[in-house]
Amino acid sequence: MKAALRVLNELEAEGCLGRYAIGGAMGAMFYAEPVTTYDLDIFAVLPQAGTGLLTLQPLYEALRLRGYEPGEYVMIEGIPVQFLPAYNPLLEEALEQARPESLEGVQTRILQMEHLIAIAIQTNRPKDHLRVRILLQEGNPDLALVSEICNRHGLTPPVSEKGEGLWTPPKT
Amino acid sequence: MDTAENLMRSALAQKERRRRQLAALPYAEKIRILLRMQRMADAAGRTRGAAPRAWQIDEQSLMPLPRIRKDR
């Protein structure tokens, strides 16, 4: 894990990867109990191609030069890493406000819990519903901030600012 | 004498306390627990022929296991 984060830090320093932060289950695990997961989800600002489209190409080339073969995920130093571009305003804001952390001396960033909750509400899969519940129960989030983020991005907040009401996943 | 309802309430409260204790652990410790859970899941998966998925990193150092470390 530490070696994989060092590689990500190098890629960011070289400009192949924009600002990055850990999200998904590994991000949520920072605030809540450990749950079994196998992917390290890395949210990142990607450089724009000449066409103005976001592209993974420079990142993938830099990874190949280091001996890591990109596929559905990239196995970096024993960890399957999935790169997820910040493709909407919520993810861009989450990345901007990600908190710097150190994993036993290796610097990294982790998305704020309140953003992880909002992203899970937006993504809206069954496992996201569970993640919202776990973070609300165990993470002690700033509910006013969760509401603020949700309102700003057109999402229904999971609970009131006073913690009233239980979050119910929207019907799909 | 405790009723079944009281026993259940107490058990659930204990579980809740345990979850909060786990949530309060340092991130590195949680990753070490995750590695153990992945290896347990792999052991169960082997019985039905599933490919192993546990991260190939050392539990103490959180660095790659020697056989996959690349020369760089």
Measure A102 CA to nearest chain B CA, in Å. Answer: 9
Nearest C-alpha of chain A: how many angstroms from B35?
8
Least CB-CB distance to A30: which of B27, B62, B64? B27
**Can you tell me the distance from the alpha carbon of A155 to that of A147, in angstroms, rounded to the nearest whole number?**
9
Three-state SS string over chain A comes to CHHHHHHHHHHHHHCCCCCEEECHHHHHHHHCCCCCCCCEEEEECCCECCCCCECCHHHHHHHHHCCCCCCCCEEECCEEEEEEECCCHHHHHHHHCCEEEEECCEEEEECCHHHHHHHHHHHCCHHHHHHHHHHHHHCCCCHHHHHHHHHHCCCCCCCCCCCCCCCCCCCC
The residue type found at B34 is L
Angle between helices A24-31 and B27-46 (to 10 degrees): 130
CB contact under 8 A, B68 and A77: yes
Residue A143 Cα, gap to closest chain B Cα (Å): 18
State chain B's mean pLDDT as an integer: 90
Q: Which of the two residues, B5 and A168, has the higher pLDDT score? A: B5
B interface with A, Cβ–Cβ < 8 A, is 19-20, 22-23, 27-28, 30-31, 33-34, 37-38, 41, 53, 55-57, 61-65, 68-70, 72
Confidence band, pLDDT 50/70/90 cuts, at residue B1: low
Q: What is the pLDDT of residue A9?
A: 97
On average, the pLDDT of chain A sits at 90
Question: What digits encode the pLDDT tens for the residues B3-33?
Answer: 899 999 999 999 989 999 999 999 999 999 9
| Shortest Cα–Cα distance, B43 to chain A (Å) | 14
Report the predicted TM-score, pTM, of the whole model to 2 decimal places: 0.89
pLDDT tier for residue A47 given thresholds of 50, 70 and 90: confident
A154 or B72, higher pLDDT:
A154
- pLDDT: is A18 or A27 the higher one? A27
State the pLDDT confidence band at B56, using cuts at 50, 70 and 90.
very high
Q: What percent of chain A has pLDDT over 70?
A: 89
- Give the integer Cα–Cα distance in Å for A10 and A121: 32
Confidence of residue A163 (pLDDT cuts 50, 70, 90): low
Over the stretch A72-131, which tens digit does the pLDDT of each residue have?
A: 899 999 999 999 999 899 999 999 999 999 999 999 999 999 999 999 999 989 899 899
Closest CA to A124 of A156, A95, A163, A93: A156
Q: Which of the four pLDDT bands, split at 50, 70 and 90, describes residue A34?
A: very high
Question: Are B57 and B35 within 8 A, CB to CB?
Answer: yes
Does any CB of chain B come closer than 8 Å to the CB of residue A66?
yes
Contact A79 B55 (CB under 8 A): yes
Residue A127, chain B, CB below 8 Å: the answer is: no
Q: What is the largest CA-CA distance in chain B?
A: 66
